[in-house]
Amino acid sequence: MSKIKTYVISCSSDVELDARGLYVWGGIKKARFLPESIKDAKRRVLKCRIETGCQSCDAEIHEVILERTKKTLKQS
C-alpha cells in the first residue's frame, strides 16, 4: 500500500508542564494540514516564535509515516 510521510510539531506553549498535555499542531491559521517537508516544518516553528514570543521555545519536529492498509477507490 502507499505510505504518507509528514511532520508534526509539538510544544508546551510556556504553560503546560506535563508532557501528556503538549500542543500538537500542523496548520497555519485556519488551515489544518501537516507540513510535508522538514524545511516547511522549521519555517512554521520560526513563524510561531515570531508571532507568540514565548520565553523559551521547546518546539520539536517529529517525522511521522502513515501506512494505508486499504486501497483507494482509484486503486481498486
Run of H or E including 44: helix 38-52
Q: What is the pLDDT of residues 40-65, one digit of tens each?
A: 889 988 888 888 887 788 888 999 99
Domain chopping of the chain, boundaries: 3-67
Contact partners, residue 67, CB within 8 Å, separation at least 6: 1, 2, 3, 4
Q: In this structure, which amino acid lies at residue 73?
A: L
Cα separation of 28 and 8, whole Å? 13
Burial class (CB within 10 angstroms; exposed 0-12, middle 13-18, buried 19+) of 5: exposed
Chain segment 6-26, per-residue pLDDT in tens: 898 888 766 656 666 667 665
Whether the model pTM is above 0.85? no
